């Protein structure tokens, strides 16, 4: 099976712009979670989508949003970019069932905000 | 407040010896624990997991031990190989929030030939 794919791999934006990141999960996986990794804060949970609905949400401002399509592909949007949004954005997919559910990560999108 | 803690930022071991990476947690609602290996600028790679109903899980050279009363888990790698050099993250989730993994800050393992 193909793994989780993320596009683009690298992005450079300027403050105030918006950005959309894309994630294609492993075939058959219905849950997609998004994480932000920064040197200071480590890996932090943004949100999770399951069957096109947001099922869990982390402590990030409303500038961070996402959605999931009927084929389980997901997009994440960040509006009004700030310098502090520079980070590695990771998505992970899983079957999404209740109970022990292993997440598999994509390679990430490196976002640089200038 | 960190719910998952990896108190050793780095660990250095000799090739062929055992590597032991430790992780402590504070939330008693966590019921599923995972270990990931990560290289810079790449996504974490799943290594091994354990459910709270077990106290040990093995997969090849990797064994995870869970001590629920101490809220402590450890990853043993035997024998360690230079290719194991990476940052290792411990993560935990709870029922109803499985999509939300809480990660530790990671431990950088260096295996010297």
Each residue of B67-88: pLDDT tens digit?
Answer: 999 999 999 999 999 999 999 9
Peptide bond into B79 cis (omega under 30): yes
pLDDT band at B99 (very low <50, low <70, confident <90, very high): confident
Contacts of A96 in chain B (CB under 8 A): 98-99
| Beta strands at A109-113 and A10-13: parallel, antiparallel or unpaired | parallel
**Of the candidates B110, B109, B84, B83, the residue with the CA atom closest to the CA atom of residue B6:** B109
**Of the candidates A72, A76, A57, the residue with the CA atom closest to the CA atom of residue A19:** A76
Q: Calculate the average pLDDT of chain B.
A: 95
Q: What's the rounded mean pLDDT across residues A20-47?
A: 94
Q: What's the rounded mean pLDDT across residues B9-13?
A: 97
Q: What pLDDT does A41 receive? A: 86
Q: Is the pLDDT of residue B98 over 80?
A: no
Each residue of A29-40: pLDDT tens digit?
Answer: 999 999 999 988
Q: What pLDDT does A40 receive? A: 84
Q: What pLDDT does A96 receive? A: 86
Contacts of A78 (CB under 8 A, 6+ apart): A18, A19, A21, A63, A64, A65, A85, A111
As a whole number of angstroms, the distance between CA B110 and CA A94 comes to: 30
Q: What's the rounded mean pLDDT across residues B36-64?
A: 95
Q: Does A24 touch chain B (CB under 8 A)?
A: no
**Of the candidates A53, A4, A54, the residue with the CA atom closest to the CA atom of residue A45:** A54
Q: What pLDDT does A84 receive? A: 95
pLDDT band at B41 (very low <50, low <70, confident <90, very high): confident
Count CB pairs under 8 A between chains A and B: 74
Q: Name the minimum distance, in Å, from the CA of B38 to any CA of chain A.
A: 10
- Do B103 and A56 make contact, defined as CB atoms within 8 angstroms? no
Each residue of A53-108: pLDDT tens digit?
Answer: 999 999 999 999 999 999 999 999 999 999 999 999 999 999 987 778 899 999 99
Specify the residue for token string 């409303």.
Answer: A62
Q: What pLDDT does A97 receive? A: 79
Q: Is the pLDDT of residue B102 over 90?
A: yes
Q: Name the minimum distance, in Å, from the CA of A82 to any CA of chain B.
A: 21
Query: A84 by DSSP, 3-state: which?
Result: helix
DSSP A85: G
As a whole number of angstroms, the distance between CA B55 and CA B36 comes to: 18
């Amino acid at each position: 099976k193909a793994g989780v794919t993320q596009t683009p791999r690298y992005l450079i934006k300027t403050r105030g712009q918006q950005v959309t990141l894309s994630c294609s999960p492993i075939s058959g996986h219905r849950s997609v979670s998004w994480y932000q990794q920064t040197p200071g804060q480590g890996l932090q949970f943004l949100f999770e989508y399951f069957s096109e609905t947001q099922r869990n949400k982390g402590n990030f401002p409303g500038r961070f949003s996402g959605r999931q399509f009927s084929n389980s592909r997901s997009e994440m949007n960040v509006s009004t970019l700030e310098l502090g949004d520079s980070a590695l954005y990771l998505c992970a997919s899983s079957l999404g069932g209740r109970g022990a559910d292993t997440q598999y990560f994509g390679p990430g999108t490196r976002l640089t905000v200038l | 407040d960190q719910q998952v803690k990896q108190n050793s930022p780095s660990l250095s071991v000799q090739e062929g010896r055992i590597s032991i990476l430790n992780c402590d947690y504070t939330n008693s609602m966590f019921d599923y624990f995972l270990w990931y290996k990560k290289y810079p600028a790449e996504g974490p790679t799943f290594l091994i997991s354990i459910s709270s109903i077990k106290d040990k899980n093995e997969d090849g050279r990797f064994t995870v031990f869970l001590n629920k009363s101490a809220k402590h888990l450890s990853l043993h790698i035997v024998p360690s190989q230079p290719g194991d050099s990476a940052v290792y993250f411990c993560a935990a989730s709870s029922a109803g929030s499985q999509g939300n993994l809480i990660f530790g800050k990671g431990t950088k393992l260096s295996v010297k030939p």
